[in-house]
Amino acid sequence: MNGTTQPSSTAEQLTNGHSSNPAGAPTPAPAPAKDDRIRMRSVTLDGLSATERSKVLQRPVLKSDDMISKVKPIVDLVRKDGDKALKELTAKFDKVELDSVVIRPPFFSATSANGVNGDSSSSTSTSYCLDGKTAVSIDPKVREAIDIAYANVKKFHAAQLTAPLSIETMPGVTCQRIAKPISRVGLYVPGGTAILPSTALMLGVPAQVAGCSEIVLATPPRRGNGTVSPEVLYVAHLVGATGIVKAGGAQAIAALAYGTHAVGKVDKIFGPGNQWVTAAKMMVQNDSEANVAIDMPAGPSEVLVIADCDSNPAFVAADLLSQAEHGTDSQVVLVGINLTQEALQRIEDAVDSQAHALPRVDIVRESIGKSLVVNTSSLQEAMRVSNEYAPEHLIVNLDLARYELTSSSLMALVENAGSVFVGPFTPERFVFFSTPWLTQCFTVTNKRWSAR
């Protein structure tokens, strides 16, 4: 994530590291221990007007204009200095000195790494990924899991290919709809705070199935050795990527939009990212000189979980934290159905316990603080709240048999949701890695008519 160094504490700035207690002064009493518990906010919607309900369910406000003004100098620098700017910005933000900003295939080899520069474990591997001339080992079990996910996602997207539509609307007039692949696509794969081969799969596979001739990934290099993660390298191999830009943030978006000496300009940019990435995508889309399209300005990650007293508290907590750990601007919502205070306490205890076990606990602490618990009296009311909120991801962690429902009849109640996971054993994290929940459009629909 692009950002600035955190300032030192006020005490450090005032005392330059020395004690601020004058000689002879009484030692102040210790401050009370800070409550370290991670909590969600409980709200009630009973008796509220539609306007009041909407305000309660409002997402954290993102000031896009402010963010665009922050990314503009970065985008302008890449337009002006190209690869030189990419290297400088990568050194500044990712703490990596790059010799080259782009790597080309091959990204994977199934033979030993003898004769190739490798990391500490790749010399004993029977297969390894390639970052240029550097061999990067990949765990065989991880590779197998990615293979399974790739097959699932590809099967789903291959089924979406449609035949051309041709219809004679009146005698002598024929209208047609023909889908053609976008020639050059740029796929942004976040990697600053987490490795996301799932994103590479969800973007790369439909681009491959659509037949895009150039598939270029952009992802931040890893701190330390400056290589791309082996998981992303392996996905790039599977989807037939033609290149990987070793850069993240606004600078990567600028390189894809305008092109540099090493980075070819693309026609459309896809993929999620933090506020810097989103603002950069919005900026280049509105610049006629860039002549580039984007998929959408993705907002912060979010999930809404519906649960009742019989839901497993550990499962519910894991579902909530799966999105809360994405960023400080993420929001998660728990909608309970007749949750007792004891049941809610068990869920809150599980959230606190699991959150403290995460390496990203500081991110979770801030995002959970902006999140909500809403208790309702029925499944119908819970679905009404979900439809009003329109979550990116909806998890229905219920035993549907208790409600005399099937997954199909439940889906009839869903009006607004980006993706839906039904049942206690459909964790959203698993689906991210193994099934094609995300659908991107990598084709241009050409509509034409002819008269004879």
Catalytic residue among 231, 302, 393, 428: 393
Residue 12: its H or E element: helix 10-15
CA distances from 169 to 174, 400, 422 (A): 6, 46, 42
pLDDT over 60 at 119, yes or no: no
Known catalytic membership, residue 393: yes
Q: What is the pLDDT of residue 3?
A: 38
Strands 443-451 and 173-181: antiparallel
Section 55-65 average pLDDT? 77
Tens digits of residue pLDDT in 373-389: 999 999 999 999 999 99
CA distances from 67 to 77, 323, 376 (A): 16, 22, 37
pLDDT over 80 at 309, yes or no: yes
pLDDT over 90 at 101, yes or no: yes
> How confident is residue 6, by pLDDT bands cut at 50, 70 and 90?
very low
Tens digits of residue pLDDT in 241-264: 999 999 999 999 999 999 999 999
Q: What is the pLDDT of residue 201?
A: 95
Q: What is the pLDDT of residue 186?
A: 98
Q: What is the pLDDT of residue 12?
A: 33
Q: What is the pLDDT of residue 73?
A: 97
Letter string b/e over residues 214-229, b meaning 16 or more CB atoms within 10 A of that residue's CB: bbbbbbbbbeeebbbb
Tens digits of residue pLDDT in 122-157: 444 467 899 998 999 999 999 999 999 999 999 999
pLDDT over 60 at 302, yes or no: yes
pLDDT over 50 at 337, yes or no: yes
Catalytic residue among 231, 325, 348, 392: 392
Measured at the CA of 32, the angle between CA 28 and CA 35, to 5 degrees, comes to: 155
Which of 8-17, 253-262, 356-365, 407-416 is least confident?
8-17
More confident residue, 313 or 191: 313
Known catalytic membership, residue 392: yes
> How confident is residue 42, by pLDDT bands cut at 50, 70 and 90?
confident
Tens digits of residue pLDDT in 207-236: 999 999 999 999 999 988 899 999 999 999
